[in-house]
Amino acid sequence: KNQVEQSPQSLIILEGKNCTLQCNYTVSPFSNLRWYKQDTGRGPVSLTIMTFSENTKSNGRYTATLDADTKQSSLHITASQLSDSASYICVVSGGTGGFKTIFGAGTRLFVKA
Amino acid sequence: EAQVTQNPRYLITVTGKKLTVTCSQNMNHEYMSWYRQDPGLGLRQIYYSMNVEVTDKGDVPEGYKVSRKEKRNFPLILESPSPNQTSLYFCASSFVQGDRGANVLTFGAGSRLTVL
């Protein structure tokens, strides 16, 4: 069964600290993996996208890694800011047909002053 | 401005009363998709469309219909809504780059539906 699992479920960090969010997936065949940021009540916004041939992608203070062999990805946030408080969702595309999108349940990040 | 527009943003209806949630994009995207988001479950795909007149079921299609008569529009139809369809709905679109190419979804602002 195609699944995307994220950990931790929620995380509280102090402003200025770094953190790493995890994503494990069992989607096959694999097309690409994306990380989205979702503020409460709003639509998700793309942070990074990686295909199977890419293992690192950065977008400002966000760095995503992908290990296609172990089917794991991580999102590292550097020097966190209060505005980073949001849900971070790992999304994998693939499966039979190629364009099904399977979403993780998300990690809820709280950045405190 | 490039965007995905959903309407209505908020709707309260009663069981069995047919409703349609519209979705329109102005980016000439081939791919469009509908999702529902429920607490603790994340987003789940309802239906998706690779192009005009091409639609396919996602993971939770029961109780929903879609159509793709024009490239820019992808309405979600609830023929006979039930309380378990109370949820936050998102429409999204993207380009298609090859059979397994990368695609970044642009999401609408969401439609919060309550079925009494």
CB contact (8 A) between residue B99 and residue A43:
no
Token pair in block for residue A28 = 């096959």
Quick check: B56 pLDDT over 80? Answer: yes
Among the residue ranges A92-96, B21-25, B61-65, B112-116, the one predicted with the least confidence is A92-96
Quick check: A81 pLDDT over 80? Answer: yes
Q: What is the mean pLDDT of residues A35-64?
A: 90
CB contact (8 A) between residue B100 and residue A42:
no
Residue A104 at interface with chain B, using a CB cutoff of 8 Å: yes
CB contact (8 A) between residue B33 and residue A93:
no
Among the residue ranges A18-22, A80-84, B50-54, B108-112, the one predicted with the least confidence is B50-54
Number of other residues whose CB lies within 10 A of the CB of residue A33 = 28
Q: How far apart are CA B73 and CA B37, in angstroms?
A: 21
Q: Provide the shortest C-alpha distance from residue A32 to chain B (in Å).
A: 6
3-state secondary structure of B84: helix
pLDDT at residue number A102: 85
Those of residues 84-103 in B touching chain A at CB distance below 8 A are 88, 90, 92, 96, 99-103
pLDDT at residue number A56: 93
Q: What is the mean pLDDT of residues B3-20?
A: 96
Return left, alpha or beta for A106; rule: phi > 0 is left, psi -120 to 50 is alpha, else beta. left
Comparing alpha-carbon positions, the chain A residue that sits nearest to B37 is A105
Report which listed range, A36-45, A101-110, B65-74, is most confident: B65-74
Q: How far apart are CA A59 and CA B105, in angstroms?
A: 16
Torsion of CA B101, B35, A86, B112, to 10 degrees: 150
- Residue type present at position B41: L
Q: How far apart are CA A49 and CA A60, in angstroms?
A: 14
Token pair in block for residue B47 = 């239906």
Q: What is the mean pLDDT of residues B24-49?
A: 91
Q: Strand pairing partners for B23?
A: B6
What is the average pLDDT score of chain B?
91
Measuring CA to CA, which residue among B4, B46, B2, B37 is closest to residue B22?
Answer: B4
Q: How far apart are CA B67 and CA B52, in angstroms?
A: 9
pLDDT at residue number B101: 47
What is the average pLDDT score of chain A?
91
Q: What is the mean pLDDT of residues B66-93?
A: 97
Residue A103 at interface with chain B, using a CB cutoff of 8 Å: yes
Q: Which carries the bigger pLDDT value, residue A107 or residue A54?
A: A107
Residue A22 at interface with chain B, using a CB cutoff of 8 Å: no
